[in-house]
Chains A and B, each alone.
Chain A
Amino acid sequence: MQLVDIKDLRVSFRHHDGVVSAVRGVTLGLSKGESLGIVGESGSGKSVTFLALMRLLQAPAATIEADKLELDGSDLLNADAKALSDIRGSLVSMVFQDPMTSFDPLFTIGYQISETIQTHGNTGKKAALAQARELLAKVEIKHPDRVLKQYPHQLSGGMLQRAMIAMALSCEPRLLIADEPTTALDVTVQAQILQLITDLQQETGMSLIIITHDLGVIAETVDRVVVMYGGKVMEIGDTLEIFEDPLNPYTKALIESIPGREAGKRKLIEIPGSSPNALSPPSGCPFHPRCKLADDKCASDAPNLSTFGKNRSAACWKVVQ
């Protein structure tokens, strides 16, 4: 049984100008112990997909529909508030992009970590704080006792992100979802945090989902990749295969447009046009206005995800077996 099972997820937001369809029929799955990368640009729907999974989007502004939205066999679509509170933080944890705004500025780090521990168990305050200290040490924070007593504004971005990871792992979740965990950090810190996350994943055997726009992050950390664009899934496959033999033209173009892959001052292969307008997405395949291979069929009919091999699928009319 899959740990995460999402079938035909649709998420839309009420906007004063109309309805924004952020996720338009996403199907994907994750097995136990696996690491999955979700790559996409802004407006691809990658973050919204998992915020919807965790039911962190607020109705009435957001409407969530799906054929299946399951975590470890339990349905999340119709789960009530209590069931959701129980799952969040203990079965599945999330790490967010900007650590500076992710902590309550009025409470110490120690308080906020031990709060999570106490919410999901019968641990007393002292014991929870001791566990928090251990966790801080585990994420390679050098002076855990001092950090426990500090407030968020007193720490740097890198340290805060480590603390957030510690907080997310505090109840030994089976799945960790990291939404752009390194984007707001300095370059040298980014690499360290990514390594920390992969180390911890291997150590605990938990499943990992990393949401990012950075293909470099994908190449370095995950086993499998889901490529999203315009609210839909474009391609799924093992990391190696995706990079060596991308099927979907969007994936191909994305990889080719990464700057600095080759030496020397040169022009890059660019993708013309810009991301789709979320209020009125293009008909058919969301990438067709920018795709070199697009034809009339691409513009009118949206391709489904078809299988092209073991663990390999792509949504494109132009992919040949």
Chain B
Amino acid sequence: MSPVLELRNLRKSFGMGSGFANFFGGAPQQVVAVDGVSLNVMPRKVLGLVGESGSGKSTCGLMAMRLLDVTSGEIIVNGTDITRLEPAVLKPLRKQMQIVFQDSYSSLDPMMTLSQIVAEPFVIHGMYTIQERNEIVGDLFEKVGLDRSYRSRYPHELSGGQRQRISIARALALKPDILVADEPTSALDVSVKAQVINLMHDLQEEMGLSILFISHELNVIRSLADEIAVMHNGRIVEQAPTETIFKDAQHPYTKSLLNAIPSLDARKRVRRSFMTAEEITANIPKVSQADITTTANVSTTGPQLVNVSEDHKVEAIVEG
């Protein structure tokens, strides 16, 4: 089975400072946001991409959607390399991938009614008659749990959770194969988070959707993702099925993320110790060629992503 979305060795660097500044000397600074990320999202599966701010996870999501230019690497959707396609060629392919953002307030046009927002994809791609569009929009409203009477309302009249439902409805209008969700629940109240997560659950099953779920909330990802990839400083440091991450994390950074999750058991109040960035780097697992199941480049110094078991990858230093 081939993946719906494949990211191959994605790299993104931002040059800081204006060209004028560089003219007068001073080397232009480069910030490497994403440093060689490879990911596969399989059909009908949810991949959770976890990381803190600055990890590069959102940048990956934006690049996957071709909303941000790629410095190097490839993006392959349903077998087609879309990395450098011209906008005109890319446009029809965009139907296969859609995105939902964190801030529902600023990602919905305040001057458009809700039904106009959800129908806009059809307008852009020249699909269906007006009659048909109305029908489909109504169905979509129902699907995301919003009353059809809301069609002529405006975004500012809705609550955060409801706006997020509209964002999802709009994303699903074109029946994409893959949905990229960039922190869709982070700005929501606790009681609403569950609603949106359950909605994504249902839609994923019903429509056979694949989801790349980007978030810093590990506990949210736990209830939704089949597989988790942990990002740190622009690279993937660990990737494994969800419960493997929670029960058998190997990389010190993953462990520190898990350590930081508060337990809900008020009885067990433990004093925790925290690792500094230096400690994390110092504790990167060291493995030998025999331990891993993929052939690693022993001559490369520095950590690389290797398979410690068939479905569990960890960034480690390979020795001998």
Contact = CB atoms under 8 A, between A and B. Distances in A.
A–B contact with Cβ pairs below 8 Å: the answer is: yes
Contact of A219 (B53, B160, B225, B264): B264
A194 B274 CA distance: 12
Interface stretch (B27-35, B214-222, B297-305): B214-222
B223 A188 contact: no
B52 A220 contact: no
A258 B191 CA distance: 8
Q: How large is the interface on B (under 10, 10 to 19, 20 to 34, 35 or more residues)?
A: 35 or more
Interface in B202-261: 202, 216-226, 242-243, 246, 256-257, 259-261
Given A191-B260, A259-B223, A186 B162 contact: no
A215 B262 CA distance: 9
B194 A270 contact: yes
B274 A239 contact: no
Given A215-B190, A263-B246, A258 B264 contact: yes
A263 B260 contact: no
Given A214-B262, A215-B264, A259 B189 contact: no
**Interface residue SS majority, chain A:** loop
Given A191-B259, A219-B265, A271-B191, A259 B197 contact: yes
Contacts of A264: 223, 242-243
A259 B219 contact: yes
Interface string A211-234: 001111101100000000000000
A260 interface: yes
Nearest to B218: A260
Contacts of A213: 189-190
A130 interface: no
Contact of A271 (B195, B257, B260): B195
B262 A220 contact: yes
B263 interface: yes
Interface residues of A, number: 40
Contacts of A259: 193-194, 197, 217, 219-220, 222-223
B226 A272 contact: no
A321 to B, nearest CB: 24
Given A186-B52, A257-B194, A217 B262 contact: yes
B188 to A, nearest CB: 9
A190 interface: yes
A291 to B, nearest CB: 12
Contact of A240 (B189, B202, B266, B271): B266
A271 B159 CA distance: 14
Given A216-B261, A257-B194, A41 B274 contact: no
B262 A219 contact: yes
Interface string B278-302: 0000000000000000000000000
A187 B220 CA distance: 13
Residue of B194, B197, B271 with most partner-chain A CB within 10 A: B194
Nearest to A186: B52
Contact of A265 (B189, B190, B224): B224
A147 to B, nearest CB: 17
Interface string A151-195: 000000000000000000000000000000000001110111011
Nearest to B241: A265
B269 A188 contact: no
A274 B262 contact: no
B272 A195 contact: yes
A265 B217 CA distance: 15
B61 interface: no
Nearest to B191: A271
B194 A271 contact: yes
Interface in A104-143: none
A219 B216 CA distance: 20
Contacts of B160: 42, 274
B264 A274 contact: no
Given A187-B260, A191-B260, A264-B243, A219 B266 contact: yes
B193 A188 contact: no
Contacts of A253: 191
Contacts of B267: 240
Nearest to A41: B189
A269 interface: yes
Contacts of B219: 258-261
Contact of A187 (B52, B195, B263, B271): B52
A274 B195 CA distance: 10
B191 A187 contact: no
Interface of A: 41-42, 186-188, 190-192, 194-195, 213-217, 219-220, 239-240, 243, 253-255, 257-261, 263-272, 274-275
| In the A-B complex, the 3 residue pairs with the closest CB atoms | A260-B219, A216-B262, A260-B222
Interface of B: 46, 52-53, 159-162, 189-195, 197-198, 201-202, 216-226, 242-243, 246, 256-257, 259-267, 269, 271-272, 274
Given A261-B264, A265-B226, A268-B198, 18 more contacts: A41-B190, A187-B217, A187-B260, A188-B256, A188-B257, A188-B260, A194-B262, A216-B263, A217-B262, A254-B191, A260-B222, A263-B246, A265-B222, A267-B201, A270-B191, A271-B191, A272-B195, A274-B159
25 contacts: A187-B52, A195-B271, A213-B190, A214-B262, A215-B264, A219-B263, A219-B265, A219-B266, A240-B267, A243-B266, A257-B194, A258-B219, A259-B217, A260-B218, A261-B264, A263-B222, A265-B222, A267-B197, A267-B202, A269-B194, A270-B194, A271-B191, A271-B194, A274-B162, A275-B192
